[in-house]
Amino acid sequence: MANKKVSDLVVDTFAAAGVKRIYGLPGDSLNGITDSLRRQRQIQWIHVRHEETAAFAAGAEAHLTQELAVCAGSCGPGNLHLINGLYDCHRSRVPVLAIAAQIPSNEIGSGYFQETRPEHLFAQCSHYCELVSQPEQMPRVLEIAMQTALSRRGVAVVAIPGDVALRDAVEQEPRLHFPPPAPTVCPSDEEIAGLAGVLNQAKKITILGGAGCAGAHAELIELAAKLKAPIVHAMRGKEFIEHGNPFDVGMTGLLGFSSGYHAMMNCDLLLMIGTDFPYQQFYPKDATVVQIDIRGEQLGRRTKVDYGFVGDTKATLRALLPRLGHKEDDKHLKAALEHYRKARQGLDELATDGSGKKPIHPQYVVRVLDELAAEDAIFSCDVGTPTIWAARYLTMNGKRRLLGSFNHGSMANALPQAIGAQVSHPGRQVVTLSGDGGLAMLMGDLLSLRQLQAPVKIIVFKNDSLAFVELEMKAAGILEFGTDLQNPYFAKMAEGAGLLGLTAETPDQVRPMIAQALRHDGPALVEVIVSRQELSMPPTPSIEQMKGFSLFTLKAVLSGRGDEVVDLAKINLFR
């Protein structure tokens, strides 16, 4: 039998590690690898129309499965297109490996056609980024890359010149055959005792939980019950914390609830668990802060911390719980829960059909979607106002999942993430909350839905604007500029691309059309004509004073009432 090529060894190494598919777009320099995929048939090639889609899709798969996902781009522009999606994967700490094909090895350094330097380009959005310049490096370099992506959670990039991929492999087989290690990381006994002491003594405790609480729902609830502590969740923690949680008081931050904000501001001790909630102005100034995170480098990153612990949430809470007493005083908890009930009610009142009048409230669209979507639906929301609606009106239940570009904050994430979610979870209902700006940005990949037979449902919030940016401009006290969108008929475009396309212009069309799309046996798009200025910001004196500040530096929660932001710097709703 002829020797394997390096490209064959690459595919075998992926297959041995359980990789099931590679997202990408071919090109000359990638031909060796795509040809090995074609011949070996162990791994599916997921053909997309833009490499950025490939990276976002791989990131979605990795987020949902917690396993390694792979994307690939050809040399120069091909892999350069991966970069924004890879930034998102890296900042979300999901294990993604990118194959960046490189120009012929003997041309490197000559300014050759399509020459770039992937080792430099991807250095900032990866834990590991290396060039394979000779067959002897394989499979070791690829295995180091995979191990790095998995163990450090993030991106690893392997650059391979097309000619090296086509050379005879020296080693013939992958070398690593062990299951992914799953160590238990827990603070020492002394540290746990110290932590218990601090918590047992504190009076008004609030928990801020994030994505690092995944898999520790029961422990978190038991902790809150013992401490009589309200739980505020950060956005990426929503899918893991909010459901079945009698202590939940919502999110904090600009998109959050005033109840989440005040629960944090009014505590004596803030207990941060598995969160990297980024906005400093929403942290209390005088409270004692305790932080638990699996990564030591995260401790104290966002606010001052008095006690920091390195540990996995579940393991740490399991060790901690037996040492905690039951607190009696539940005044702080009760007040926070009552505040949450009111805040929730206020937001729910906005999610109405507006007595049938146009334009449609986007909140209503998401409330209807929330009601009609499957028990285990996977949602993805675009950056922009769809992130607000998802945060406030999608109900999580432990089976549903929520994808977004929450840490990197890139537009156009929802469709590509939905592609990754759907191809990796063929039986599941996958629904996007897409902005009209966001959808247009990577719209080419609407075409992939039919080609991949991916029955994704797309809900487009057609507000003919970059509405979130209009909010930002208002907050900064500047006139709106460059935010108009002259949109196509998205439904007609969808029809042209082989999708079911529907347009909801009036509130009474929303429910039947979303229901029809969800039932449809194939991809579908519903464009909903929604109001443009659902969250307006009039120049009230308090906002005036903040002129020149970005929306994200405001100490404000969007009230959602269309007439004001809750200026938290001035009003204390809690007392």
Ligand X SMILES: Cc1cc2nc3c(=O)[nH]c(=O)nc-3n(C[C@H](O)[C@H](O)[C@H](O)COP(=O)(O)OP(=O)(O)OC[C@H]3O[C@@H](n4cnc5c(N)ncnc54)[C@H](O)[C@@H]3O)c2cc1C
Ligand Y SMILES: Cc1ncc(C[n+]2csc(CCOP(=O)(O)OP(=O)(O)O)c2C)c(N)n1
Residues acting as catalytic residues = 51, 113-114, 383, 468
Shortest distance in whole angstroms from residue 465 CB to ligand Y: 5
Taking the CA atoms of 164, 167, 171 and 176 in sequence, report the sign of the dihedral they define: positive
Rule CB under 6 A: which of 446-475 touch ligand Y? 461, 463, 465-469
Which whole-number Å values give the CA distances from 546 to 478, 553, 563, in the listed order? 11, 9, 17
Other beta carbons within 10 angstroms of residue 131's beta carbon come to 19
Select from 382, 527, 564, 567 the one that contacts ligand Y (CB under 6 A).
Answer: 382
Rule CB under 6 A: which of 328-387 touch ligand X? 383, 387
Rule CB under 6 A: which of 401-430 touch ligand Y? 409-411
Select from 118, 384, 501, 507 the one that contacts ligand Y (CB under 6 A).
Answer: 384
Nearer to ligand X, 114 or 385 (CB): 385
Select from 12, 276, 436, 567 the one that contacts ligand Y (CB under 6 A).
Answer: 436
Rule CB under 6 A: which of 90-149 touch ligand X? none
Shortest distance in whole angstroms from residue 461 CB to ligand Y: 5
Shortest distance in whole angstroms from residue 351 CB to ligand Y: 16
**276 part of the interface to ligand X, by CB under 6 A:** yes
Q: Are 153 and 94 in contact (CB under 8 A)?
A: yes
Select from 393, 406, 461, 490 the one that contacts ligand X (CB under 6 A).
Answer: 406
Q: What are the tokens at 351?
A: 């999610």
- Helix, strand, or coil (residue 271): strand
Q: Are 160 and 132 in contact (CB under 8 A)?
A: yes
507 binds, among Mg ion, ligand X, ligand Y, none (CB under 5 to 8 A by kind): none
**187 part of the interface to ligand Y, by CB under 6 A:** no
Dist CA 257 CA 344 (whole Å)? 8
Nearer to ligand X, 511 or 555 (CB): 555
Which segment (100-108, 268-276, 472-480, 563-571) binds ligand X by CB under 6 A? 268-276
Position with the least CB separation from ligand Y = 435
Taking the CA atoms of 482, 442, 128 and 308 in sequence, report the sign of the dihedral they define: positive
Rule CB under 6 A: which of 409-438 touch ligand X? 409
β-partners of residue 251 are: 233
Select from 256, 420, 435, 501 the one that contacts ligand X (CB under 6 A).
Answer: 256
CA 538 to chain centre: 31
235 binds, among ligand Y, Mg ion, ligand X, none (CB under 5 to 8 A by kind): ligand X
Nearer to ligand X, 10 or 471 (CB): 471
Which segment (26-34, 210-218, 441-449, 507-515) binds ligand X by CB under 6 A? 210-218
Q: Going along 397-540, which residue ranges are E strands? A: 401-404, 430-435, 457-462, 500-504, 524-529
Q: Give the burial class of 182: count Cβ atoms within 10 A of its Cβ; 0-12 exposed, 13-18 middle, 19 or more buried.
A: exposed
36 binds, among ligand Y, Mg ion, ligand X, none (CB under 5 to 8 A by kind): none
Residues in the chain: 575
Rg (CA), the chain: 25
Which residue type sits at 443? Answer: M
| Helix extents (H) in 50-175 | 51-65, 77-80, 83-91, 118-121, 140-152, 162-166
Dist CA 262 CA 93 (whole Å)? 29
**562 part of the interface to ligand Y, by CB under 6 A:** no
- DSSP β-ladder status, 556-558 and 565-567: antiparallel
Which residue type sits at 364? Answer: Y
Selection from 159, 64, 148 nearest residue 117 by Cα: 159
211 binds, among Mg ion, ligand X, ligand Y, none (CB under 5 to 8 A by kind): ligand X
Cis peptide preceding 488, ω within 30 of 0:
no
Which segment (47-55, 115-123, 271-279, 342-350) binds ligand X by CB under 6 A? 271-279
Select from 436, 445, 534, 567 the one that contacts Mg ion (CB under 5 A).
Answer: 436
Nearer to ligand X, 162 or 311 (CB): 311
Taking the CA atoms of 125, 127, 133 and 139 in sequence, report the sign of the dihedral they define: negative
Chain residues binding ligand Y by CB under 6 A are 382-386, 409-411, 435-438, 461, 463, 465-469
Q: Which residues bind ligand X (CB under 6 A)?
A: 210-212, 234-237, 251, 253-256, 274-278, 293-295, 298, 312-313, 383, 387, 406-407, 409
